[in-house]
């Protein structure tokens, strides 16, 4: 009886949906038919991509709403990331269940189908040898990537090295979880193998979003960065008793500095390959008279200018109608924008001053008086770095959309503010600009959303990964190189370099710990609202500190400046340690495969 669900799963191989992300082919009656001709085999390959997590779907993505970056007014049952942040994650019906057949995405089914593809592709008649090699490499990449997604979410996982026949021995059909480091090595090895036969980059526009060799190397770099991080490297506090039923330890609880060296080397290889294929930090191509506005555009468009040279890997499936842009954009009066994706006060305060320092460090920034009204808005919104103005929409500030500039009115009963009869409003008094194309048009007379691939990996992330790994491995001895890569990112967005900024307060050198904070702040800003922070806070082992505190924002039912500009708690958040660091395996799955052990805290 335990095998019944796997038999059903096996039969589902012949009712897959496909495209390279969007085409749905005819159902294929037999496995032989699926590999009879190149076209059918290609459709089978396309079907393997359908298991990719929906990176740009805020309802289906863990990372977009599952952080302290964002609050929303919506509280429906299927808004799982928001429910998770409120402490509702559970093992009976876990949100974002990527492990089981009945879950959100059954990644093990995706892996299984990829192995079926590898086992049968050589049977295809008249398939060009070059395509045979490349398609196998794509399947290998997806096997590795799906293992990585599972590893990121669950920690030690079951490694699938082949498809498992239905009459396999019990120990093969119901395997145990493997130690975390063994999983890392397996995935890294498979990514290296895939990279050998993948093209160095994708040049055919019809295949944009498919993996290339530089994508494989970049995923490997992220994998090894995570593996070196505090959650997984020497974490005896959480995982000293995390073992299989036979006593085998699933986590190496002794810190190993060489894991950071491995991440350094892998990330440098990925950077060299990306730059060698023409990747560079994005700069807005139209020249502006104002240097500050040019810097704002450089950052704002780096995400929404489709397939630009900074993008290493993008999720190519189009954003849906009920997507990021429509939910972020200010209310337009006809109900087609939802005006409710709200940056938290913590995120607003994370951005640097115009001189490149944290707001509580810069002596020229009135930190104590930051909530004081000065002119039409508070001091908190003034004298900030360009990325702040490219990302945050604030009361009495500009929001570029519809090919024009809208002045936000966020106070109670104003055009974009809270009202008693309004379901779509910002719970913090802010709106997100990042990810909304300034030329997306959603008005009473026109509805035209500018679509772009969601950035899974961009070059700026690789620079930040490299800086972090270098600092953790070599400390101050590596700071010349660390600062070089941080300054590339800062300079693109008009932010003074690290040394130039910190010299203002008499700092010309940094300890390893001081540089760690600079890097983490830079990462928080540069990669905000792209789905990284959910995992960064976990791997840094900072969940209790960051995700277990209330969301703060303005008093949105205030109609005057004095009433509105009061900092209040807008939403409670819960992060239970150690359980919430790794997601639970569904209890029913543990009952089916009794060789599995549950994650700590569940």
Span(s) in the chain for CATH 1.25.40.390: 4-58+91-282+582-592
Are 533 and 525 spatial neighbours (Cβ–Cβ below 8 Å)? no
Alpha carbon distance 333, 409 (integer Å): 13
Q: What is the pLDDT at residue 15?
A: 31
According to CATH, the topology of domain 457-544 is: 1.25.40
Are 352 and 459 spatial neighbours (Cβ–Cβ below 8 Å)? no
Q: pLDDT of 513-563, one tens digit each?
A: 999 999 999 999 999 999 999 999 999 999 999 999 999 999 999 999 999
More confident residue, 26 or 380: 380
State the average pLDDT over residues 575-588.
98
pTM of the predicted protein model? 0.95
State the average pLDDT over residues 383-402.
98
Q: What is the pLDDT at residue 172?
A: 78
Residue with tokens 């974009």: 416
| Residue positions counted in the chain | 602
C-alpha separations of 255 from 72, 185, 234, 351, 520 in Å: 39, 17, 4, 32, 20
In this predicted structure, the answer to whether residue 375 has a pLDDT above a threshold of 50 is yes
Q: What is the pLDDT at residue 28?
A: 53
Task: Tell me the DSSP string of 195-216.
Answer: HHHS-SS---GGGTTS--HHHH
How close are the terminal C-alpha atoms of the chain, in Å?
26
Q: What is the pLDDT at residue 23?
A: 44
C-alpha separations of 45 from 107, 113, 582 in Å: 15, 9, 31
Span(s) in the chain for CATH 1.25.40.900: 457-544
As a dihedral over the C-alpha atoms of residue 268, residue 269, residue 272, residue 278, rounded to 10 degrees, the angle is: -120
| Cβ neighbourhood burial of 72 (10 Å; 0-12, 13-18, 19+) | buried
Q: What is the pLDDT at residue 163?
A: 87
Task: Tell me the DSSP string of 553-591.
Answer: EE-TT--SHHHHS-EEEEE-----TTGGGSPPPPHHHHH
Among 158, 161, 175, 162, which residue's Cα sits nearest to residue 116? 162
State the average pLDDT over residues 314-342.
95
In this predicted structure, the answer to whether residue 2 has a pLDDT above a threshold of 70 is no
According to CATH, the topology of domain 4-58+91-282+582-592 is: 1.25.40
Would you give the DSSP letter of residue 353?
B
**The two three-digit tokens of residue 19, written as one number:** 């495209």
Q: What is the pLDDT at residue 3?
A: 43
In this predicted structure, the answer to whether residue 5 has a pLDDT above a threshold of 60 is no
Q: pLDDT of 163-194, one tens digit each?
A: 887 777 777 789 999 999 999 999 999 999 99
Q: pLDDT of 7-36, one tens digit each?
A: 333 333 323 233 455 543 445 568 889 999
Q: pLDDT of 430-439, one tens digit each?
A: 999 999 999 9
In this predicted structure, the answer to whether residue 6 has a pLDDT above a threshold of 50 is no
pLDDT above 70 as % of the chain: 95
Residue with tokens 């939403």: 571
Are 539 and 229 spatial neighbours (Cβ–Cβ below 8 Å)? yes
Are 486 and 463 spatial neighbours (Cβ–Cβ below 8 Å)? yes
C-alpha separations of 294 from 166, 308, 407, 527, 582 in Å: 60, 17, 20, 19, 41
Alpha carbon distance 94, 81 (integer Å): 11
Q: pLDDT of 288-304, one tens digit each?
A: 989 999 999 999 999 99
Q: What is the pLDDT at residue 29?
A: 62
**The two three-digit tokens of residue 151, written as one number:** 């590893």
Q: What is the pLDDT at residue 127?
A: 97
Averaged pLDDT of the chain: 94
C-alpha separations of 408 from 118, 327, 332, 401, 481 in Å: 54, 15, 11, 11, 41
């Amino acid at each position: 009886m335990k095998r019944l669900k796997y038999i059903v799963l096996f039969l589902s191989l012949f009712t897959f949906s496909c495209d390279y992300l969007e085409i749905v082919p005819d159902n294929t009656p037999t496995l032989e038919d699926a590999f009879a001709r190149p076209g059918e085999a290609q459709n089978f390959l396309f079907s393997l991509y359908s298991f990719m997590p929906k990176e740009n779907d805020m309802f289906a993505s863990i990372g977009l709403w599952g952080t302290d970056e964002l609050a929303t007014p919506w509280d429906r049952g299927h808004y799982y990331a928001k429910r998770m942040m409120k402490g509702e994650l559970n093992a009976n019906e876990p949100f974002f269940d990527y492990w089981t057949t009945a879950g959100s995405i059954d990644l093990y089914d995706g892996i299984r189908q990829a192995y079926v593809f590898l086992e049968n592709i050589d049977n295809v008649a008249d398939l060009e040898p070059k395509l045979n090699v490349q398609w196998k490499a794509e399947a290998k990449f997806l096997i590795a990537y799906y293992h990585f997604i599972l590893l990121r979410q669950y920690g030690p996982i079951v490694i699938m090295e082949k498809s498992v026949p239905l009459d396999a021995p019990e120990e093969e059909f119901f395997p145990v979880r493997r130690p975390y480091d063994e999983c890392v090595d397996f995935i890294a090895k498979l990514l290296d193998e895939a990279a050998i036969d993948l093209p160095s980059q994708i040049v055919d526009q019809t295949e944009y979003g498919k993996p290339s060799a530089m994508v494989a190397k970049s995923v490997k770099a992220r994998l090894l960065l995570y593996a070196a991080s505090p959650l997984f490297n020497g974490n005896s506090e959480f995982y000293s008793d995390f073992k299989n039923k036979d006593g085998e330890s699933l986590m190496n609880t002794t810190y190993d500095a060489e894991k950071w060296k491995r991440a350094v080397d892998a990330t440098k290889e990925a950077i060299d390959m990306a730059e060698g294929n023409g990747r560079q930090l994005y700069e807005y191509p139209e020249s502006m008279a104002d240097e500050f506005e040019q810097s704002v555009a450089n950052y704002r468009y780096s995400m929404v200018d489709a397939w630009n040279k900074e993008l290493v890997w993008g999720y190519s499936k189009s954003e849906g109608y009920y997507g990021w842009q429509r939910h972020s954009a200010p209310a337009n009066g006809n109900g087609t924008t939802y005006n409710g994706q709200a940056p938290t006060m913590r995120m607003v305060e994370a951005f640097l001053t115009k001189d490149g320092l944290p707001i509580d460090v810069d002596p020229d920034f009135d930190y104590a008086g930051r909530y004081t009204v000065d002119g039409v808005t508070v001091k908190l919104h003034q004298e900030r770095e360009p990325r702040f103005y490219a990302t945050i929409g604030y009361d009495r500030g500009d929001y570029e959309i519809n090919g024009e500039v809208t002045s936000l009115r966020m106070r109670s009963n104003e055009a974009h503010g809270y009202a008693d009869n309004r379901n779509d409003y910002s719970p913090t008094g802010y709106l997100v600009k990042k990810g909304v194309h300034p030329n997306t048009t959603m008005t009473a007379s026109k509805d035209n959303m500018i679509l772009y691939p969601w950035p899974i990996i961009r070059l700026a992330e690789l620079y930040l990964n490299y800086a972090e790994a270098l600092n953790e491995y070599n400390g101050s001895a590596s700071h010349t190189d660390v600062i070089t890569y941080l300054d590339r990112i800062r300079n693109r967005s008009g932010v003074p370099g690290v040394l130039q900024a910190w010299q203002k307060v008499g700092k010309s050198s940094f300890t390893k710990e001081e540089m760690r904070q600079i890097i983490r702040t830079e990462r928080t800003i540069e990669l905000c609202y792209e789905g990284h922070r959910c995992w960064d806070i976990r791997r840094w082992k900072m969940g209790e500190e960051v995700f277990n505190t209330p969301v703060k924002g303005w008093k949105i039912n205030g109609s005057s400046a004095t009433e509105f500009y009061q900092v209040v708690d807008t939403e409670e958040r819960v992060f239970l340690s150690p359980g919430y660091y790794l997601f639970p395996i569904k209890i029913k799955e543990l009952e089916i495969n009794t060789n599995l052990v549950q994650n700590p805290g569940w």
